[in-house]
Structure 1
Amino acid sequence: MRPLILVFFLSTLTTISGHSGYFRNHRRPTSRPNCDDVVSKGLCYYEDVLTSYGSDKAKHEIKTCCSEDDVAKKVIVITKTGDKFVKLLNELFKPLDFCDLVDKVDACPKCCAVNGNWGEWTKFTPCSATCGLGVKFRKRLCDSPSPSNGGADCPGSPIEKRKCINSKCPAELCASFDGYEFDSVTGCCIRVFQIQRNFFGAKKECIRDGGRLLKLDSLKKRDFLQTLVKDNSDRSFFIGARDINGQDEFEHLDHTPVEWIGHLPTASNQDCVRYDKNIREMDETFCSNRFKFVCERDVSVSPGKHLIPK
Protein backbone atom coordinates (compact mmCIF):
# COMPACT_ATOMS: atom_id res chain seq x y z
CA MET A 1 0.00 0.00 0.00
CA ARG A 2 1.15 3.51 -0.67
CA PRO A 3 2.96 4.87 2.39
CA LEU A 4 1.54 7.79 4.27
CA ILE A 5 4.17 10.52 4.40
CA LEU A 6 4.36 12.81 7.40
CA VAL A 7 6.72 15.82 7.28
CA PHE A 8 7.44 18.28 10.08
CA PHE A 9 10.31 20.14 11.78
CA LEU A 10 12.34 18.28 14.39
CA SER A 11 12.45 21.40 16.59
CA THR A 12 8.69 21.32 17.01
CA LEU A 13 8.20 17.59 16.87
CA THR A 14 6.12 16.21 19.67
CA THR A 15 7.09 12.81 20.94
CA ILE A 16 5.27 10.30 18.85
CA SER A 17 3.71 7.39 20.70
CA GLY A 18 2.59 4.31 18.91
CA HIS A 19 -1.12 3.87 18.37
CA SER A 20 -2.03 0.75 16.48
CA GLY A 21 -5.47 2.12 15.80
CA TYR A 22 -4.34 5.55 14.63
CA PHE A 23 -4.82 5.10 10.90
CA ARG A 24 -8.15 3.42 11.55
CA ASN A 25 -9.41 6.30 13.70
CA HIS A 26 -7.61 9.28 12.08
CA ARG A 27 -9.77 12.00 10.57
CA ARG A 28 -9.16 15.68 9.72
CA PRO A 29 -10.68 18.49 11.73
CA THR A 30 -13.87 19.82 10.21
CA SER A 31 -12.73 23.46 10.44
CA ARG A 32 -9.35 24.91 9.48
CA PRO A 33 -8.03 28.44 10.01
CA ASN A 34 -8.11 30.43 6.79
CA CYS A 35 -5.24 32.47 5.43
CA ASP A 36 -6.44 35.83 6.80
CA ASP A 37 -6.82 34.40 10.30
CA VAL A 38 -3.33 32.96 10.21
CA VAL A 39 -1.74 36.12 8.84
CA SER A 40 -3.34 38.25 11.54
CA LYS A 41 -1.44 36.16 14.07
CA GLY A 42 1.81 36.29 12.12
CA LEU A 43 1.64 32.56 11.51
CA CYS A 44 1.80 30.30 8.51
CA TYR A 45 -0.47 27.31 8.18
CA TYR A 46 0.86 23.93 7.04
CA GLU A 47 -2.42 22.19 6.37
CA ASP A 48 -1.40 18.55 6.08
CA VAL A 49 1.50 18.24 8.51
CA LEU A 50 0.61 16.39 11.69
CA THR A 51 2.40 17.06 14.94
CA SER A 52 0.67 14.58 17.19
CA TYR A 53 -1.71 11.66 17.04
CA GLY A 54 -4.90 10.94 18.84
CA SER A 55 -7.52 8.24 18.72
CA ASP A 56 -10.17 10.53 17.30
CA LYS A 57 -8.44 13.49 15.54
CA ALA A 58 -5.18 14.76 14.14
CA LYS A 59 -3.56 18.00 15.30
CA HIS A 60 -2.10 20.22 12.60
CA GLU A 61 1.14 22.15 12.95
CA ILE A 62 1.00 25.97 12.92
CA LYS A 63 4.40 27.59 12.65
CA THR A 64 5.78 31.16 12.54
CA CYS A 65 6.69 31.95 8.95
CA CYS A 66 8.31 34.56 6.71
CA SER A 67 11.76 34.39 8.28
CA GLU A 68 15.06 33.34 6.74
CA ASP A 69 15.27 30.24 8.89
CA ASP A 70 11.74 29.12 8.05
CA VAL A 71 13.03 26.28 5.89
CA ALA A 72 12.96 22.58 6.67
CA LYS A 73 16.50 21.34 7.27
CA LYS A 74 15.47 17.85 8.33
CA VAL A 75 12.31 15.86 7.85
CA ILE A 76 10.93 12.78 9.50
CA VAL A 77 9.11 10.31 7.31
CA ILE A 78 6.69 7.92 8.99
CA THR A 79 5.30 5.08 6.94
CA LYS A 80 1.97 3.38 7.34
CA THR A 81 3.59 0.56 9.24
CA GLY A 82 4.97 3.01 11.77
CA ASP A 83 8.55 2.99 10.54
CA LYS A 84 10.24 6.36 10.87
CA PHE A 85 13.52 7.69 9.55
CA VAL A 86 15.26 11.05 9.16
CA LYS A 87 16.39 12.52 5.85
CA LEU A 88 18.38 15.67 5.34
CA LEU A 89 17.03 18.32 3.00
CA ASN A 90 20.03 18.31 0.67
CA GLU A 91 21.14 16.64 -2.53
CA LEU A 92 20.19 13.28 -1.02
CA PHE A 93 16.64 14.37 -0.35
CA LYS A 94 14.60 16.79 -2.47
CA PRO A 95 11.10 18.07 -1.65
CA LEU A 96 9.94 16.83 -5.04
CA ASP A 97 10.21 13.31 -3.66
CA PHE A 98 7.19 14.05 -1.48
CA CYS A 99 4.16 15.65 -3.08
CA ASP A 100 2.61 16.73 0.21
CA LEU A 101 5.77 18.56 1.25
CA VAL A 102 6.04 20.42 -2.03
CA ASP A 103 2.39 21.44 -2.06
CA LYS A 104 2.32 22.73 1.48
CA VAL A 105 5.73 24.44 1.60
CA ASP A 106 5.01 26.24 -1.66
CA ALA A 107 1.69 27.42 -0.25
CA CYS A 108 3.27 28.98 2.83
CA PRO A 109 4.48 32.29 1.30
CA LYS A 110 0.97 32.91 -0.01
CA CYS A 111 -0.15 33.27 3.58
CA CYS A 112 2.64 35.62 4.58
CA ALA A 113 1.94 39.33 4.97
CA VAL A 114 3.96 41.34 2.44
CA ASN A 115 4.67 44.98 3.33
CA GLY A 116 4.60 47.49 0.51
CA ASN A 117 7.71 49.23 -0.75
CA TRP A 118 8.01 52.31 -2.95
CA GLY A 119 9.14 52.14 -6.57
CA GLU A 120 11.27 54.78 -8.28
CA TRP A 121 10.21 58.45 -8.43
CA THR A 122 9.08 59.78 -11.78
CA LYS A 123 10.67 62.90 -13.22
CA PHE A 124 9.33 66.24 -11.99
CA THR A 125 6.58 67.85 -14.03
CA PRO A 126 7.29 71.24 -15.62
CA CYS A 127 6.86 74.22 -13.32
CA SER A 128 3.21 75.22 -13.03
CA ALA A 129 4.10 78.88 -13.63
CA THR A 130 5.82 80.22 -16.74
CA CYS A 131 7.18 83.02 -14.59
CA GLY A 132 7.30 83.76 -10.90
CA LEU A 133 6.66 81.19 -8.18
CA GLY A 134 5.08 77.90 -9.14
CA VAL A 135 4.98 74.26 -8.11
CA LYS A 136 6.23 71.08 -9.75
CA PHE A 137 5.40 67.49 -8.85
CA ARG A 138 6.72 63.98 -9.05
CA LYS A 139 5.10 60.71 -7.98
CA ARG A 140 5.89 57.11 -7.16
CA LEU A 141 3.94 53.87 -6.90
CA CYS A 142 3.77 51.44 -4.01
CA ASP A 143 4.60 48.48 -6.21
CA SER A 144 8.05 47.18 -5.28
CA PRO A 145 6.35 45.10 -4.01
CA SER A 146 2.71 46.03 -3.54
CA PRO A 147 1.28 45.23 -0.09
CA SER A 148 -0.53 41.91 0.04
CA ASN A 149 -2.09 39.50 2.51
CA GLY A 150 -2.66 42.25 5.07
CA GLY A 151 0.82 43.75 4.76
CA ALA A 152 1.44 47.41 5.57
CA ASP A 153 1.08 50.13 2.97
CA CYS A 154 4.13 52.12 1.93
CA PRO A 155 4.91 54.89 4.44
CA GLY A 156 4.76 58.51 3.34
CA SER A 157 3.12 60.21 0.39
CA PRO A 158 3.07 59.01 -3.22
CA ILE A 159 3.44 62.62 -4.40
CA GLU A 160 6.23 65.12 -3.74
CA LYS A 161 5.95 68.78 -4.67
CA ARG A 162 8.57 71.50 -4.75
CA LYS A 163 8.50 75.22 -5.30
CA CYS A 164 10.00 76.39 -8.57
CA ILE A 165 10.76 79.73 -10.19
CA ASN A 166 11.21 79.93 -13.94
CA SER A 167 12.06 83.63 -13.80
CA LYS A 168 10.60 86.85 -12.51
CA CYS A 169 7.43 87.87 -14.28
CA PRO A 170 7.89 90.83 -16.65
CA ALA A 171 6.29 93.49 -14.42
CA GLU A 172 8.25 92.30 -11.38
CA LEU A 173 11.47 92.13 -13.36
CA CYS A 174 10.98 95.60 -14.82
CA ALA A 175 10.28 97.04 -11.38
CA SER A 176 13.66 95.72 -10.22
CA PHE A 177 15.42 98.00 -12.74
CA ASP A 178 16.01 101.51 -11.45
CA GLY A 179 13.79 104.09 -13.15
CA TYR A 180 12.07 101.73 -15.60
CA GLU A 181 8.31 101.55 -16.16
CA PHE A 182 6.41 98.48 -17.37
CA ASP A 183 3.57 98.52 -19.90
CA SER A 184 1.22 95.56 -19.49
CA VAL A 185 -0.25 96.14 -22.97
CA THR A 186 2.96 95.88 -24.97
CA GLY A 187 5.13 94.13 -22.38
CA CYS A 188 7.87 96.73 -22.81
CA CYS A 189 10.03 98.12 -20.02
CA ILE A 190 11.09 101.73 -20.63
CA ARG A 191 13.18 104.38 -18.93
CA VAL A 192 13.41 108.03 -19.99
CA PHE A 193 16.88 109.35 -19.20
CA GLN A 194 16.97 112.98 -18.13
CA ILE A 195 20.54 113.60 -19.25
CA GLN A 196 21.30 114.80 -22.79
CA ARG A 197 23.59 112.95 -25.18
CA ASN A 198 24.17 112.76 -28.92
CA PHE A 199 22.85 109.62 -30.61
CA PHE A 200 26.00 107.56 -30.11
CA GLY A 201 26.40 108.67 -26.51
CA ALA A 202 22.76 107.79 -25.83
CA LYS A 203 23.28 104.37 -27.39
CA LYS A 204 26.26 103.69 -25.10
CA GLU A 205 24.34 104.82 -22.01
CA CYS A 206 21.54 102.35 -22.76
CA ILE A 207 24.00 99.50 -23.25
CA ARG A 208 25.77 100.43 -20.01
CA ASP A 209 22.38 100.28 -18.26
CA GLY A 210 21.69 96.77 -19.57
CA GLY A 211 19.33 97.75 -22.37
CA ARG A 212 19.19 99.47 -25.74
CA LEU A 213 17.68 102.57 -27.30
CA LEU A 214 13.94 102.13 -27.62
CA LYS A 215 12.62 100.22 -30.61
CA LEU A 216 9.49 102.22 -31.39
CA ASP A 217 7.65 99.74 -33.60
CA SER A 218 3.97 100.08 -32.74
CA LEU A 219 1.35 102.68 -31.99
CA LYS A 220 0.63 101.03 -28.64
CA LYS A 221 4.26 101.40 -27.64
CA ARG A 222 4.13 105.02 -28.86
CA ASP A 223 1.09 105.63 -26.65
CA PHE A 224 2.91 104.26 -23.60
CA LEU A 225 5.98 106.37 -24.33
CA GLN A 226 3.78 109.43 -24.62
CA THR A 227 2.46 108.90 -21.07
CA LEU A 228 6.05 108.93 -19.80
CA VAL A 229 7.21 112.09 -21.60
CA LYS A 230 4.09 114.23 -21.88
CA ASP A 231 4.98 116.27 -18.79
CA ASN A 232 8.69 116.39 -19.54
CA SER A 233 10.26 119.81 -20.07
CA ASP A 234 11.98 118.63 -23.26
CA ARG A 235 10.30 117.97 -26.58
CA SER A 236 12.71 115.59 -28.32
CA PHE A 237 14.06 112.16 -27.27
CA PHE A 238 16.47 109.92 -29.15
CA ILE A 239 15.12 106.45 -30.00
CA GLY A 240 16.86 103.48 -31.58
CA ALA A 241 16.75 103.90 -35.36
CA ARG A 242 19.15 105.12 -38.08
CA ASP A 243 19.32 105.76 -41.82
CA ILE A 244 21.72 103.03 -42.96
CA ASN A 245 22.73 104.47 -46.34
CA GLY A 246 21.70 108.14 -46.45
CA GLN A 247 18.70 107.30 -48.63
CA ASP A 248 16.05 107.54 -45.92
CA GLU A 249 16.10 103.76 -45.44
CA PHE A 250 15.81 103.59 -41.69
CA GLU A 251 16.46 100.50 -39.55
CA HIS A 252 16.01 99.75 -35.88
CA LEU A 253 19.17 98.80 -34.03
CA ASP A 254 18.32 95.10 -34.51
CA HIS A 255 18.43 95.75 -38.28
CA THR A 256 14.69 95.34 -38.84
CA PRO A 257 13.13 98.01 -41.09
CA VAL A 258 11.37 100.96 -39.49
CA GLU A 259 7.66 101.41 -40.08
CA TRP A 260 7.48 105.16 -39.71
CA ILE A 261 5.06 106.65 -37.21
CA GLY A 262 4.12 110.08 -38.54
CA HIS A 263 5.20 111.94 -41.65
CA LEU A 264 7.84 110.17 -43.73
CA PRO A 265 11.39 111.59 -43.58
CA THR A 266 12.53 113.93 -46.37
CA ALA A 267 15.94 115.28 -45.30
CA SER A 268 18.57 112.87 -46.61
CA ASN A 269 21.35 114.38 -44.49
CA GLN A 270 19.63 113.63 -41.16
CA ASP A 271 20.37 110.02 -40.28
CA CYS A 272 19.08 109.56 -36.72
CA VAL A 273 15.57 109.49 -35.26
CA ARG A 274 13.94 111.38 -32.42
CA TYR A 275 10.51 111.14 -30.87
CA ASP A 276 8.63 114.45 -30.86
CA LYS A 277 6.19 114.46 -27.97
CA ASN A 278 4.35 117.55 -29.21
CA ILE A 279 3.21 115.91 -32.42
CA ARG A 280 3.43 112.29 -31.12
CA GLU A 281 5.53 111.25 -34.10
CA MET A 282 8.94 110.02 -35.15
CA ASP A 283 11.16 112.57 -36.86
CA GLU A 284 14.58 112.47 -38.48
CA THR A 285 17.34 114.52 -36.88
CA PHE A 286 21.10 115.01 -36.90
CA CYS A 287 22.97 112.33 -34.95
CA SER A 288 25.15 115.04 -33.41
CA ASN A 289 22.23 116.77 -31.71
CA ARG A 290 22.00 116.35 -27.96
CA PHE A 291 18.67 115.15 -26.62
CA LYS A 292 17.32 113.18 -23.75
CA PHE A 293 16.82 109.55 -24.74
CA VAL A 294 14.68 106.47 -24.09
CA CYS A 295 16.07 103.04 -23.22
CA GLU A 296 14.25 99.73 -22.97
CA ARG A 297 15.18 96.43 -21.33
CA ASP A 298 14.11 92.91 -22.22
CA VAL A 299 11.77 91.47 -19.61
CA SER A 300 10.31 88.64 -21.68
CA VAL A 301 9.96 85.31 -19.90
CA SER A 302 12.72 82.83 -20.68
CA PRO A 303 11.34 79.28 -20.30
CA GLY A 304 13.40 76.50 -18.85
CA LYS A 305 15.05 78.38 -15.97
CA HIS A 306 14.29 76.40 -12.82
CA LEU A 307 15.21 77.65 -9.42
CA ILE A 308 14.30 75.48 -6.43
CA PRO A 309 14.41 77.34 -3.11
CA LYS A 310 16.08 75.34 -0.39
Structure 2
Amino acid sequence: MTMREIAFSLVAVAGLLATATAKAQAPEPFGRPGASDAKGAIELIDPKVLRVCADPNNLPFSNRAGEGFENKLAQFLAGKLGKDLAYVYYPGATGFIRNTLNAHLCDVVMGMPQGDDVVQPTNPYYRTSYAIVTRAGADLDGLKTLADPRLAQKGRHIGLVANTPPGNVLARLGLLAAVKPYPLVVDTRVDAPGADMIHDLEAGAIDVAILWGPIAGYHVKRSNGRLVETLLTQEPGARMSFRIGMGVRHSDQEWKRELNRLIAQNQREIDRMLADYGVPLIDEAGAPIAVEP
Protein backbone atom coordinates (compact mmCIF):
# COMPACT_ATOMS: atom_id res chain seq x y z
CA MET A 1 0.00 0.00 0.00
CA THR A 2 1.42 3.40 -1.02
CA MET A 3 1.42 6.40 1.28
CA ARG A 4 -1.21 7.98 -0.95
CA GLU A 5 -3.46 4.96 -0.42
CA ILE A 6 -2.76 5.23 3.30
CA ALA A 7 -3.94 8.83 3.18
CA PHE A 8 -7.18 7.64 1.61
CA SER A 9 -7.50 5.01 4.34
CA LEU A 10 -6.97 7.50 7.11
CA VAL A 11 -9.59 9.80 5.91
CA ALA A 12 -12.29 7.29 5.59
CA VAL A 13 -11.58 7.24 8.84
CA ALA A 14 -10.48 10.75 8.60
CA GLY A 15 -12.53 9.87 7.92
CA LEU A 16 -11.20 8.63 8.76
CA LEU A 17 -9.64 11.87 8.73
CA ALA A 18 -9.75 13.90 8.42
CA THR A 19 -9.01 15.52 5.41
CA ALA A 20 -6.36 13.15 4.35
CA THR A 21 -8.70 11.60 1.81
CA ALA A 22 -7.99 11.87 -1.89
CA LYS A 23 -5.41 14.56 -2.00
CA ALA A 24 -3.69 13.48 -5.16
CA GLN A 25 -2.49 16.81 -6.44
CA ALA A 26 0.99 18.14 -7.04
CA PRO A 27 2.14 21.02 -4.82
CA GLU A 28 1.93 24.54 -6.10
CA PRO A 29 5.12 26.32 -7.20
CA PHE A 30 7.09 27.94 -4.39
CA GLY A 31 6.19 31.43 -3.33
CA ARG A 32 2.90 33.27 -2.84
CA PRO A 33 1.36 36.67 -3.38
CA GLY A 34 0.81 39.24 -0.68
CA ALA A 35 4.02 38.97 1.35
CA SER A 36 4.35 40.92 4.59
CA ASP A 37 7.32 42.13 6.62
CA ALA A 38 6.09 40.43 9.82
CA LYS A 39 8.16 37.49 11.06
CA GLY A 40 7.29 34.38 9.10
CA ALA A 41 4.40 36.18 7.42
CA ILE A 42 5.94 35.87 3.95
CA GLU A 43 4.62 32.32 4.09
CA LEU A 44 1.18 33.11 5.52
CA ILE A 45 -1.88 34.60 3.88
CA ASP A 46 -2.39 36.99 6.80
CA PRO A 47 0.21 37.21 9.61
CA LYS A 48 -2.55 38.03 12.12
CA VAL A 49 -4.78 35.05 11.32
CA LEU A 50 -4.36 31.28 11.60
CA ARG A 51 -6.19 30.06 8.50
CA VAL A 52 -7.08 26.37 8.60
CA CYS A 53 -8.31 24.04 5.83
CA ALA A 54 -10.93 21.64 7.20
CA ASP A 55 -13.79 19.33 6.36
CA PRO A 56 -17.16 20.88 7.29
CA ASN A 57 -18.79 17.66 8.51
CA ASN A 58 -16.30 15.06 9.65
CA LEU A 59 -16.47 14.39 13.38
CA PRO A 60 -14.51 13.59 15.45
CA PHE A 61 -12.02 15.61 13.39
CA SER A 62 -13.81 18.80 12.37
CA ASN A 63 -17.11 20.42 11.52
CA ARG A 64 -18.50 23.90 10.94
CA ALA A 65 -19.63 24.16 14.55
CA GLY A 66 -16.03 23.73 15.76
CA GLU A 67 -16.85 20.52 17.65
CA GLY A 68 -14.01 18.30 16.43
CA PHE A 69 -10.65 17.73 18.09
CA GLU A 70 -8.86 19.34 15.14
CA ASN A 71 -11.05 22.41 15.67
CA LYS A 72 -10.06 22.48 19.35
CA LEU A 73 -6.39 22.06 18.46
CA ALA A 74 -6.57 24.90 15.93
CA GLN A 75 -8.19 27.15 18.52
CA PHE A 76 -5.48 26.23 21.03
CA LEU A 77 -2.66 26.94 18.57
CA ALA A 78 -4.22 30.24 17.48
CA GLY A 79 -4.18 31.32 21.12
CA LYS A 80 -0.53 30.32 21.52
CA LEU A 81 0.36 32.23 18.35
CA GLY A 82 -1.66 35.28 19.34
CA LYS A 83 -3.64 35.08 16.09
CA ASP A 84 -7.30 35.09 15.16
CA LEU A 85 -8.68 31.81 13.78
CA ALA A 86 -10.41 31.41 10.42
CA TYR A 87 -11.46 28.38 8.36
CA VAL A 88 -11.78 27.42 4.74
CA TYR A 89 -14.16 24.44 4.62
CA TYR A 90 -14.04 21.93 1.78
CA PRO A 91 -15.19 18.29 1.71
CA GLY A 92 -12.32 15.87 2.34
CA ALA A 93 -12.28 14.40 -1.16
CA THR A 94 -10.46 14.74 -4.46
CA GLY A 95 -9.24 18.29 -4.92
CA PHE A 96 -9.02 19.16 -1.22
CA ILE A 97 -5.37 20.26 -1.14
CA ARG A 98 -5.41 21.80 -4.62
CA ASN A 99 -8.48 23.90 -3.84
CA THR A 100 -7.54 25.00 -0.32
CA LEU A 101 -3.92 24.89 0.85
CA ASN A 102 -2.26 25.11 -2.56
CA ALA A 103 -4.73 27.77 -3.68
CA HIS A 104 -3.46 29.93 -0.78
CA LEU A 105 -6.87 30.08 0.85
CA CYS A 106 -5.44 28.76 4.12
CA ASP A 107 -2.06 27.85 5.64
CA VAL A 108 -2.41 24.49 7.40
CA VAL A 109 -4.28 21.17 7.36
CA MET A 110 -4.60 19.94 10.94
CA GLY A 111 -4.35 16.19 10.30
CA MET A 112 -2.10 14.50 7.73
CA PRO A 113 -0.35 11.11 7.83
CA GLN A 114 3.42 11.33 7.99
CA GLY A 115 4.88 10.38 4.63
CA ASP A 116 2.10 11.82 2.47
CA ASP A 117 4.12 13.97 0.05
CA VAL A 118 1.11 15.94 -1.21
CA VAL A 119 1.94 18.41 1.59
CA GLN A 120 5.00 19.21 3.67
CA PRO A 121 4.36 17.53 7.03
CA THR A 122 5.20 18.89 10.44
CA ASN A 123 6.52 16.61 13.15
CA PRO A 124 3.74 14.23 14.26
CA TYR A 125 1.64 15.30 17.23
CA TYR A 126 0.12 11.87 17.78
CA ARG A 127 0.48 8.24 16.79
CA THR A 128 -2.43 5.82 16.73
CA SER A 129 -3.67 2.71 14.93
CA TYR A 130 -6.68 0.89 13.61
CA ALA A 131 -8.95 -0.68 16.21
CA ILE A 132 -11.47 -3.46 16.72
CA VAL A 133 -14.80 -2.43 18.27
CA THR A 134 -17.19 -5.01 19.75
CA ARG A 135 -20.33 -4.92 21.88
CA ALA A 136 -19.59 -5.15 25.59
CA GLY A 137 -20.53 -8.55 26.99
CA ALA A 138 -20.80 -10.20 23.58
CA ASP A 139 -19.09 -13.50 22.75
CA LEU A 140 -16.18 -11.61 21.18
CA ASP A 141 -15.05 -10.06 24.47
CA GLY A 142 -11.28 -10.05 24.72
CA LEU A 143 -10.74 -10.02 20.95
CA LYS A 144 -7.21 -8.69 20.41
CA THR A 145 -6.23 -9.81 16.92
CA LEU A 146 -7.87 -10.45 13.58
CA ALA A 147 -6.41 -13.96 13.71
CA ASP A 148 -8.65 -14.86 16.67
CA PRO A 149 -10.46 -18.09 15.62
CA ARG A 150 -13.77 -16.69 16.86
CA LEU A 151 -13.84 -14.34 13.86
CA ALA A 152 -13.73 -17.34 11.52
CA GLN A 153 -16.85 -18.91 13.00
CA LYS A 154 -19.75 -19.39 10.61
CA GLY A 155 -22.20 -16.52 10.50
CA ARG A 156 -19.81 -13.79 11.59
CA HIS A 157 -20.19 -10.34 10.05
CA ILE A 158 -17.20 -7.98 10.06
CA GLY A 159 -17.54 -4.27 9.33
CA LEU A 160 -14.63 -2.81 7.35
CA VAL A 161 -13.99 0.40 5.44
CA ALA A 162 -12.99 -0.77 1.95
CA ASN A 163 -9.35 -0.58 0.90
CA THR A 164 -7.99 0.13 4.37
CA PRO A 165 -4.99 -1.81 5.76
CA PRO A 166 -6.92 -4.31 7.94
CA GLY A 167 -8.51 -5.64 4.75
CA ASN A 168 -5.12 -7.06 3.69
CA VAL A 169 -4.99 -9.07 6.91
CA LEU A 170 -8.57 -10.32 6.54
CA ALA A 171 -7.79 -11.40 2.97
CA ARG A 172 -4.74 -13.34 4.11
CA LEU A 173 -6.84 -15.05 6.78
CA GLY A 174 -9.56 -15.97 4.29
CA LEU A 175 -12.20 -13.84 6.02
CA LEU A 176 -13.29 -11.55 3.18
CA ALA A 177 -16.52 -13.50 2.72
CA ALA A 178 -17.56 -12.37 6.21
CA VAL A 179 -16.86 -8.69 5.51
CA LYS A 180 -19.59 -6.09 5.16
CA PRO A 181 -17.80 -3.26 3.30
CA TYR A 182 -18.35 0.44 3.91
CA PRO A 183 -17.19 3.05 1.35
CA LEU A 184 -13.81 4.74 1.71
CA VAL A 185 -14.19 7.80 -0.52
CA VAL A 186 -17.40 9.65 0.30
CA ASP A 187 -18.88 13.13 0.37
CA THR A 188 -18.76 13.75 4.11
CA ARG A 189 -21.55 16.29 3.82
CA VAL A 190 -23.99 13.42 3.29
CA ASP A 191 -22.20 10.18 4.24
CA ALA A 192 -20.47 8.98 7.42
CA PRO A 193 -19.23 5.39 7.01
CA GLY A 194 -17.76 5.23 10.52
CA ALA A 195 -20.99 6.29 12.20
CA ASP A 196 -22.95 3.93 9.95
CA MET A 197 -20.72 1.02 10.94
CA ILE A 198 -21.10 1.77 14.64
CA HIS A 199 -24.89 1.96 14.21
CA ASP A 200 -24.86 -1.45 12.53
CA LEU A 201 -22.70 -2.88 15.32
CA GLU A 202 -25.04 -1.68 18.04
CA ALA A 203 -28.04 -2.95 16.07
CA GLY A 204 -26.49 -6.41 15.71
CA ALA A 205 -26.13 -6.25 11.91
CA ILE A 206 -22.37 -6.85 12.31
CA ASP A 207 -20.40 -8.52 15.11
CA VAL A 208 -17.27 -6.40 14.97
CA ALA A 209 -16.31 -3.01 13.52
CA ILE A 210 -12.78 -2.32 12.30
CA LEU A 211 -12.12 1.41 12.23
CA TRP A 212 -9.36 3.99 12.33
CA GLY A 213 -8.49 4.56 16.01
CA PRO A 214 -9.74 8.15 16.43
CA ILE A 215 -13.13 7.25 14.98
CA ALA A 216 -13.36 4.05 17.00
CA GLY A 217 -12.35 5.77 20.24
CA TYR A 218 -14.76 8.66 19.71
CA HIS A 219 -17.78 6.35 19.33
CA VAL A 220 -16.70 4.00 22.12
CA LYS A 221 -16.36 6.93 24.53
CA ARG A 222 -19.86 8.13 23.61
CA SER A 223 -21.41 4.66 23.96
CA ASN A 224 -21.73 4.74 27.78
CA GLY A 225 -20.02 1.39 28.13
CA ARG A 226 -21.99 -0.41 25.41
CA LEU A 227 -18.93 -0.77 23.19
CA VAL A 228 -15.34 -1.90 23.74
CA GLU A 229 -12.27 -1.19 21.59
CA THR A 230 -8.93 -2.94 21.19
CA LEU A 231 -6.07 -1.45 19.17
CA LEU A 232 -4.59 -3.39 16.28
CA THR A 233 -1.02 -2.23 16.84
CA GLN A 234 0.54 -5.28 15.19
CA GLU A 235 -0.93 -7.54 12.53
CA PRO A 236 1.26 -9.62 10.17
CA GLY A 237 0.98 -8.48 6.58
CA ALA A 238 -0.17 -4.88 7.02
CA ARG A 239 0.83 -1.73 8.84
CA MET A 240 -1.77 -0.74 11.41
CA SER A 241 -0.31 2.33 13.15
CA PHE A 242 0.58 5.74 11.72
CA ARG A 243 1.98 9.08 12.85
CA ILE A 244 -0.20 12.12 12.26
CA GLY A 245 1.06 15.66 11.91
CA MET A 246 -0.10 18.87 10.24
CA GLY A 247 0.36 19.72 6.57
CA VAL A 248 1.72 22.97 5.13
CA ARG A 249 2.85 24.05 1.67
CA HIS A 250 6.21 22.71 0.53
CA SER A 251 7.56 26.26 0.34
CA ASP A 252 6.67 27.20 3.93
CA GLN A 253 9.81 26.21 5.82
CA GLU A 254 9.71 28.74 8.66
CA TRP A 255 5.99 28.19 9.20
CA LYS A 256 6.62 24.46 9.52
CA ARG A 257 9.41 25.10 12.04
CA GLU A 258 7.12 27.37 14.07
CA LEU A 259 4.44 24.68 14.20
CA ASN A 260 7.05 22.08 15.18
CA ARG A 261 8.09 24.29 18.09
CA LEU A 262 4.48 24.63 19.23
CA ILE A 263 3.92 20.87 19.06
CA ALA A 264 7.07 20.16 21.11
CA GLN A 265 6.27 22.82 23.71
CA ASN A 266 2.62 21.79 24.17
CA GLN A 267 2.58 18.01 23.69
CA ARG A 268 1.00 17.32 27.10
CA GLU A 269 -1.87 19.69 26.42
CA ILE A 270 -2.32 18.24 22.94
CA ASP A 271 -2.42 14.69 24.35
CA ARG A 272 -5.11 15.73 26.83
CA MET A 273 -7.13 17.33 24.05
CA LEU A 274 -6.99 14.14 22.01
CA ALA A 275 -7.78 11.93 25.00
CA ASP A 276 -10.91 14.00 25.69
CA TYR A 277 -12.22 12.75 22.34
CA GLY A 278 -11.25 9.15 22.99
CA VAL A 279 -8.33 9.15 20.53
CA PRO A 280 -6.16 6.14 21.48
CA LEU A 281 -2.54 7.28 21.70
CA ILE A 282 0.43 4.94 21.37
CA ASP A 283 4.20 5.38 21.61
CA GLU A 284 6.77 4.23 19.08
CA ALA A 285 6.74 0.73 20.58
CA GLY A 286 2.96 0.49 20.17
CA ALA A 287 2.28 0.78 23.91
CA PRO A 288 -0.66 2.92 25.08
CA ILE A 289 0.23 6.40 26.32
CA ALA A 290 -1.28 7.25 29.68
CA VAL A 291 -2.61 10.79 29.60
CA GLU A 292 -2.75 12.86 32.78
CA PRO A 293 -6.18 14.34 33.52
Asked whether the two chains share a fold, i.e. TM above 0.5, the reply is no
Could you say which TM-score interval applies, normalised by the shorter chain? Answer: under 0.3
- TM-score, normalised to structure 2, is 0.16
Q: Which structure features the higher share of helix residues?
A: 2
